[in-house]
Amino acid sequence: MQREIEVKVLNIIPKDMEEKLTSLGAEKVSRELQTNYTFEPTSGEFEKGYLRIRESLIDGKKAPIELTFKEVKNEKDVRINNEFTVHIDSVSMMTSILEKMGVKLKYKGEKERFSYRYKGQRFDIDTWDKNTYPHPYMEIEFTNQSKIDEILADLGIEKGMVTTKSISDLINEL
């Protein structure tokens, strides 16, 4: 299991944010092209999370296909995800298995992600295809909640731009 402490920064201009990170000395980690499949059951609901299949090209190289259950907990000012991930061989076969279990595809989306590392924290600048989510945002994954105020101040990010909402929450608000 992997544990993430994260927030999203809304209303960003990706190029401006990349320039700001670079000017502070951030290291560019990668460029990813992702296809994400998000699932939900047809009856009932996941109590605290969701399932996702992700196909990725990372810097032009195909990464293993991942099936992840994200167990979500929102705390003051941050979202904490416990991620349970396995590699799978086939999106279509896993989708069929999930459908037979009553778990249906909620949406499929394409995303471009530019990732940076600054002060030991990870910054992912995400731009989805317009049909999935039309507004770019940045996810910041923290190693420690105590870094939040320092990092936001370094980047000149106002608290009103920060949310703990998931991409599903943001899509539902459209």
Q: Quick: pLDDT tens for 52-85.
A: 999 999 999 999 999 999 888 877 778 888 899 9
pTM, entire model: 0.90
The predicted pLDDT at position 47 comes to 65
The predicted pLDDT at position 19 comes to 97
The predicted pLDDT at position 130 comes to 96
The predicted pLDDT at position 44 comes to 56
Q: Which residues pair with 72 in a beta bridge?
A: 81
User: Tokens 């920064």 correspond to what residue?
Assistant: 9
Rounded to whole angstroms, the Cα distance separating 116 from 30 reads 7
The predicted pLDDT at position 4 comes to 85
Give the total residue count for the chain: 174
What number does CATH give the domain 2-173? 2.40.320.10
List, run by run, the mean pLDDT of 10-residue segments along the chain (174 residues).
Answer: 90 96 97 94 66 96 95 81 94 94 91 97 97 96 89 93 90 89
The predicted pLDDT at position 2 comes to 86
User: Contact at 8 Å (CB) between 116 and 29?
Assistant: yes
Q: Cα–Cα distances in Å, from 79 out to 85, 114, 145?
A: 18, 21, 10
The pair of three-digit structure tokens given for residue 73, joined into one six-digit string = 């907990």
Rounded to whole angstroms, the Cα distance separating 104 from 93 reads 13
